[in-house]
Structure 1
Amino acid sequence: MMPKVTIVVLSPQGDEEKLKRTLNSISQQTYDEVETLVIAPHAVTLPAFVEQAFFGTPADLTHGITIAQQHAKGEFVTFMQAPDFITDEGDLAHCLAEVDQRDVELGMANFTSLKDGLFYFRTYVRGNYGLLNPTNLIPYMRFHLGLRGVWGLFLRRELLMRLTPQNSGQRVLYQAVHQAKKALLLESRFYCLVVEGSHQVAPFEWQADYEYSDAHRLVQEIQASGYQEQIPAQINVALCIDDNLIRRLPPLIYSIAKHNQDLNLYLVYYRLTTASRAALLQLADYFPQLHFKLRRVSKELHQLIEPIDLSKTKLPVATYHRVLLPYILPDVSRVIYLDTDTQVMASLQSLWQTKLAGNFLGATGDIAPYLSPAENPNWPHPMFENQGENYFNSGVLLMDLDLMRQYHVAFKVIKTALDTAQLFVQADQDAHNLYYFNAYHRLDIKYNYGTPIFDYDVRSFDDIVILHHYVNKPWQPEVMVNDNPLVLAALNGYYRDKREADELLGKWAAKVSVVIDLRHPAHFNLGRCLSSLLYQSYTALEFIVLTNGELPAAQAQYLAGLAKDHPFKFERSGQLAAAVAQASGQYLYFVDIDDLLLQETVIEQFMQAAQQGARLVVSDHQWMNRQTNMIYWQNKPAKVEFFQTVKPDAYQREFGQLARCLVAADLAKASLASGVVETDLPGLWKQTAGKVAILAAQLWLMTVDPASEGDT
């Protein structure tokens, strides 16, 4: 048998026409078990199906709750206000079926509004189970207009009786969710609010007794208890990794080792391939001043985070491993957590010795509050709004693991994520900020200095301990198209550390001399092409810039800045043979300043073919019309074909220009010494290389003038 529902209709003005619309929508419902109560300031004409009417009483929510507590007979109670109405005749039946089947004390139906003749249908972003609870209520209230009052709210009568009557719908909902044994965001739709005059969707209003979590109260208790944290003599650093992040480790670990000695480095993972584990062991061999400690996340711990909704992010669930560090590292009392896109610029000792004053963790502010809405449309953060000034970045955390274990806060952060992740913008960072809102120690920005902050709060590199390459990721192909010289300097420093780390590890067997043709005016920022070279995974590179005389001052200054951190040479004669003569690499790779390598592994793929005996390697390409900026491409398989000889008329696209070839240096130098015309070199090498490799994939972007569209 389906439960009976009592609908309490409030008519604040006693307007019969408005009330008629509300009551008509009730009478048209297919659901039979309905009791209707009407409250109005004066007598009005009512249809026969209305069981009870209360006239001469203020038709506000306080009186509506009081009267419902005294007179409602339904197992569930819901409130309506004239002239609002139920959207469809089957809505009430759907809602009651849902609250009955899910056995809840509170159900909130999806919300519709009608304004100026237009309907606005709003559907709640529900988690895996659609549960509403004290953890996610305030974020939902901020995010969803329908969760700022009681319209569309179904309360089991036992819950209603526990509520204190009050006139604020938001306050009623807040106390109802906190007292409900089980509350649910319904999939069904029910209520339509008619927006007119003073009858509006209520704004969210922060109240003095609101809190996102218990963290702030816990910190106050800890501080009052006189807790004294113990800081070990030896620094502990934790990195959370997976197979995809292994390649990001060498520059980070190299930067740690440059500035720190006798440090415990915990590498936390759930699954790693044999190759990844071997790479970690190699790193350990080359950095003996760091004590490498591999810690596998247990299946039981990992299962705690697996259900977290990550649909709004591109991040793996392993991003939440940092939350579990108190239990992954049960024998560690304090740790510095670092994201893998950070770079250590100085000793970590000052950060390590920072007292947290009874807080569970220390963190620095994030870039987001600095940004204007045009720069970041996701800010103010929909879950924090004007409270977002305290939003912190979770890429660097100083964590009191002893304290976290004592108060079990890791599990509370995970619960926050499970309940609220469907609203998150920044994955675990949002979970941390929700749980630790106003309950963390604010660290100096020098301990987690995001490169975008150079635009707002300039610090010298000598005053930065940890540089964080968020937003300006060094592995993005056009990241150096940036007008801020400090951002460019930071990126160059990262690429330098990456190259030096690879040299220390002996990662690449052969050097490649990259000849960059700058004999014509560049149509793009130089950083466009050079980014795509400097971000390459293959770092055993030197760069030879070929020009016709002196460059414009701005370009010369830009390249001189790069030459401070990277092996650049310059040939100003305009002669290709002279540029090639400067090459010290075993292979030469040719690019035009307007070209763009589309993957960070392009040169690595070319060299893999070269290591199999190919003395000439080429690939297909995409091309862009410079006038329209239209890009033309094909999906092609990532395969490599090897040939001893290639027919003169075959693979015209691949061998059409010099600026798409990797060639053995001795072959290139001999050809140029014989006086071969530059434009004939690819065709000559195709016939004389002995073994040629052709990569089918379109690995780079060629820019052409409209007049040359057919010659690609």
Structure 2
Amino acid sequence: MKEISLIVVTQGDEAGVKQCVESCLCQDYTACEIIVVANASLELPQTDPRLKVIVRPQTSLNELRLIGVQVATAPYVMFLEATDFLIGTTALTTLMAHMVDQHSDLLITNVVFAQENQLIYLHPKDTTALITVNNYLLYARLYESFRRLGGNVIAKSLIGLLGAGLTTLSVQNLYLKLCQIAQRPVYDQFACYAYRLTDERSQPAFQWQADYHLSNLAELAAANRIQGQQVTIPNELTIAICVDDYSATKIAVLLYSIEANNPQGGVIYLVHGPLAAPAKQALIALSYRLAHFRVKLLELSAVDQYLLEQISLEGNHLPRSAYYRILLPNLLPEVDRVLYLDYDTLVLRDLTALWHSDLAGNFLGCIRDQGVTIKNGWAENLFGPDANNYFNSGVLLMDLALLRKYGVTGYFYQFILESTKFFVLGDQDAYNLYFKDAVQYLPIENNYVTQLLESSDSAEHRELAKVTILHFLSAKKPWKDTTSYPAAMLPAMRLYRQYRQAMQTEYQLAKQVPQLTVLVLVDDEHDLARCLESIYYQDYPNLAVAVLDASSQPEQVLAICQDYQTLYDHLEYQVVSSAATLSETLARGLAQTHGELVTLLSARNWFNNNQPFMELVSYLQTHQLDLISGMRMRFVAAEGAFYGYPVTKEFTSTTGLTSKVLATKYPGDYDCLSGMLAKRQLWQEALQVSENEQMVLAQLLAASHQSATWRDYVWVQKE
């Protein structure tokens, strides 16, 4: 059984000193001694042989620490402040067992506060973990245990290595120093020491360090500047983009924007891990499109994938692909400089000036994250007084040669492994912490996040024509429904879609798929904008829309349509009689359009995301169908809630099944025409002999030769 000395440091007049000592005496751990060191006399029961009371008048509390250690006979010590106490009778037994199990010489315990007869546990879900040179500052920043004197178990041999530091260092710096010299410091989730809060005593605040660095990169960068290191910038613009199954379907417009604004060309590396076949095929197709840039697919090795899989993603929303960029120095051994871009960026100008930026001996060129983290307080939480230097990692100009010279990748990877529990923004936090003061800040136009467009500070506003790289940060992406976006953001969203249209035109993508006509039935104008938005954010490159207006407010409907006509081609507007039958209305819409495929939707409803048209048409063509449908999701407006059935994402044949059978088998998906996508001829046949919606649906299914349903949500019905 390991022996421990409990050292109570007191002025003798604290209200809780007796409770503090009694909490030590009641412990069931027998291999302990209690040493009370005071600078004034106090009354304590000295009947227990484990208790020693030492009074040293006119002695500072810091010096009392030293006296207590000098008197202690055990190999381990724990300090206690006189106002605090141990919780329960088994605290020491548990702690010392953990000490032995962890082979630790420094055990920092979880914190619990006592206030008005209540115990407050701030970190109840923490786990026991090793404290390392990579994360000890982060532990100290997050946990109050590093800022209170008592409650931690310390090997007495470590205190001997502190020298005068035991009496001269602040409590926080004392524990930081102990973490540096300990062989195996451990953070223990067990909370057994109550730190008492009073009107005069609050939670101990973190003291920001003048040298708050978690790596030596700032020193190396400073040395490079002093030496006047000259860097040869490669002539060829080299770009890296990291992709996964999701982002692989989103980067086409980004690649086009790079090509359109940089005729000098260069090379683009698409770094990826394991991909599903459709995503891989999409990347291969992209690699052949560009005329000025060579596009190279770079797949991670099995070893690299294994290394990245060791990084915990718990607690942050980013995918694993966000960490691919940390391997770029090794993945591109022949490349000395690379411009990394997030998949949700758009290049609006020539990149030459950015590419030739002087990094002044630093490892990275980056742009401060004015739009998000600096404003929302996370940067201050991470960096305190240096919060304004927090940068966004979505655009990084990386000196790969310098990173390789100092072998940074391996050290950076180890830092990430040991520190991810402290990250909220994944690798971006990692870059900011590890590369602090080793980066060159570049003008905001090189990574202009769309949140700045709605900033209350006019100094942060930029004309889009003067922005080099536009970054669609946050959940507000241009390939989503923008009807609820702030008005200030809409020009950026429309600019993206203009690039998308230009790309589709230049690459003649419309010729690769049949034209799909969407008939929009309007009896009320209120939700029309959302409905049209859900059509025009589709990735499908060959769309035509016919708005059939039977509403009582045709002027308002026309105004909405005209707004979209300024942005998109192939939008027809027709006024139809509210007295006309559904068959008559649809027949009129078909007569005014030419799409080989047709689907329809009520203006009060909308399509679920920007992928269903591509999915449905692809399957229809591959399997030679003439009719295909998808699932409906219900939105109950009064409740603000969505309802639906489980999704399998499978395609299932419905050939030969009647509407009655399908309505029973797939509730809600076959009781109306919305969401049905069929060949034009099939619609024309169904409309010739049918009047109401159910009859049209029944005839549509009866006339079909090959049909299927996709068990994924395609459209949303508003109720």
**TM-score normalised per structure 1:** 0.90
Letter in 2 for 1:443: L
Letter in 2 for 1:469: F
Q: Distance in 2 between matches of 1:12 and 1:584?
A: 91
Q: 2:615 aligns with which of 601, 605, 611?
A: 605
Q: Distance in 1 between matches of 2:557 and 2:397?
A: 42
**For residue 662 of structure 1, what is the aligned residue in structure 2?**
677
Is 1:264 matched up with 2:267? yes
Contact 1:257 1:290 in 2 (8 A): yes
Alignment of 1:282-321 (within 5 A): 282-321=285-324
Is 1:152 matched up with 2:167? no
After the TM superposition, which of the residue ranges 417-426 and 594-603 deviates more from structure 2? 594-603
Q: Cα distance 1:645–1:209, how it changes in 2: closer, same or farther (>3 A)?
A: closer
Is 1:482 matched up with 2:485? yes
Alignment of 1:94-243 (within 5 A): 94-123=94-123, 130-163=129-162, 164=165, 165-166=167-168, 168-243=170-245
CA offset at residue 684 of structure 1? 3.0
Q: Cα distance 1:670–1:301, how it changes in 2: closer, same or farther (>3 A)?
A: closer
After the TM superposition, which of the residue ranges 4-13 and 117-126 deviates more from structure 2? 117-126
**Residue deviations 1:352-372 (CA, integer Å, cap 9, x gap):** 011111111011122555776
Q: Distance in 1 between matches of 2:92 and 2:371?
A: 43
Is 1:692 matched up with 2:707? yes
Contact 1:12 1:59 in 2 (8 A): no
Is 1:3 matched up with 2:2? yes
CA offset at residue 397 of structure 1? 0.2
**For residue 463 of structure 2, what is the aligned residue in structure 1?**
460
Q: Distance in 2 between matches of 1:647 and 1:669?
A: 19
Q: Distance in 2 between matches of 1:629 and 1:175?
A: 54
Secondary structure, in 3 states, of the residue corresponding to 1:572?
strand
Q: Distance in 2 between matches of 1:505 and 1:68?
A: 82
Q: Cα distance 1:141–1:639, how it changes in 2: closer, same or farther (>3 A)?
A: same
Contact 2:548 2:589 in 1 (8 A): yes
Q: Distance in 2 between matches of 1:453 and 1:552?
A: 37
**For residue 63 of structure 2, what is the aligned residue in structure 1?**
63
Letter in 2 for 1:178: Q
**Residue deviations 1:576-598 (CA, integer Å, cap 9, x gap):** 44433332321111112221323
**For residue 540 of structure 2, what is the aligned residue in structure 1?**
538
Letter in 1 for 2:131: L
Contact 2:37 2:68 in 1 (8 A): no
Secondary structure, in 3 states, of the residue corresponding to 1:583?
coil
Q: Cα distance 1:563–1:363, how it changes in 2: closer, same or farther (>3 A)?
A: farther
Is 1:21 matched up with 2:19? yes
Any stretches of 5+ residues in structure 2 without a counterpart? 577-584
CA offset at residue 512 of structure 1? 0.7
Contact 1:452 1:472 in 2 (8 A): no
Secondary structure, in 3 states, of the residue corresponding to 1:64?
helix
Q: Distance in 1 between matches of 2:50 and 2:385?
A: 45
Alignment of 1:423-438 (within 5 A): 423-438=422-437
Q: Distance in 2 between matches of 1:101 and 1:505?
A: 67
CA offset at residue 542 of structure 1? 2.3
Secondary structure, in 3 states, of the residue corresponding to 1:332?
coil
Q: Cα distance 1:298–1:666, how it changes in 2: closer, same or farther (>3 A)?
A: closer
Q: Distance in 2 between matches of 1:295 and 1:673?
A: 55
CA offset at residue 176 of structure 1? 1.6
Contact 1:416 1:434 in 2 (8 A): no
CA offset at residue 626 of structure 1? 2.7
Contact 1:655 1:683 in 2 (8 A): no
**For residue 601 of structure 2, what is the aligned residue in structure 1?**
591
Q: Distance in 2 between matches of 1:202 and 1:447?
A: 40
Q: 2:653 aligns with which of 642, 645, 652?
A: 642
CA offset at residue 106 of structure 1? 1.4
Secondary structure, in 3 states, of the residue corresponding to 1:354?
coil
**Residue deviations 1:512-569 (CA, integer Å, cap 9, x gap):** 11122333132x4x55434433343433322223334896888766654443443241
CA offset at residue 132 of structure 1? 1.9
**For residue 396 of structure 1, what is the aligned residue in structure 2?**
395
CA offset at residue 609 of structure 1? 4.4
**Residue deviations 1:92-145 (CA, integer Å, cap 9, x gap):** 122122222322221101111111222102337657x71223432333333223
**For residue 414 of structure 2, what is the aligned residue in structure 1?**
415
**For residue 707 of structure 1, what is the aligned residue in structure 2?**
none
Alignment of 1:526-565 (within 5 A): 526=528, 528-548=530-550, 559-565=561-567
Root mean square deviation of aligned Cα: 2.9
Any stretches of 5+ residues in structure 1 without a counterpart? 705-712
Q: Cα distance 1:88–1:559, how it changes in 2: closer, same or farther (>3 A)?
A: farther
**For residue 580 of structure 2, what is the aligned residue in structure 1?**
none
CA offset at residue 381 of structure 1? 5.3
Contact 2:509 2:541 in 1 (8 A): no
CA offset at residue 604 of structure 1? 2.8
CA offset at residue 310 of structure 1? 0.8
Q: Distance in 2 between matches of 1:555 and 1:343?
A: 32
Q: Distance in 2 between matches of 1:284 and 1:636?
A: 33
Is 1:626 matched up with 2:628? no
Q: Cα distance 1:305–1:661, how it changes in 2: closer, same or farther (>3 A)?
A: closer
Q: Cα distance 1:530–1:216, how it changes in 2: closer, same or farther (>3 A)?
A: farther
- Identity, % of aligned pairs? 25
Q: Distance in 2 between matches of 1:529 and 1:681?
A: 23
Alignment of 1:667-682 (within 5 A): 667-669=682-684, 676=691, 680-682=695-697
Contact 1:545 1:568 in 2 (8 A): no
After the TM superposition, which of the residue ranges 309-318 and 677-686 deviates more from structure 2? 677-686
**For residue 521 of structure 1, what is the aligned residue in structure 2?**
525
Q: Distance in 1 between matches of 2:174 and 2:102?
A: 22
CA offset at residue 41 of structure 1? 2.1
CA offset at residue 478 of structure 1? 3.4
Q: Cα distance 1:555–1:390, how it changes in 2: closer, same or farther (>3 A)?
A: farther
Q: Distance in 2 between matches of 1:598 and 1:332?
A: 42
Count of equivalent residues: 694
Contact 1:369 1:388 in 2 (8 A): no
Q: Cα distance 1:505–1:472, how it changes in 2: closer, same or farther (>3 A)?
A: farther
Q: Distance in 2 between matches of 1:140 and 1:152?
A: 16
CA offset at residue 59 of structure 1? 6.8
Q: Distance in 2 between matches of 1:382 and 1:391?
A: 11
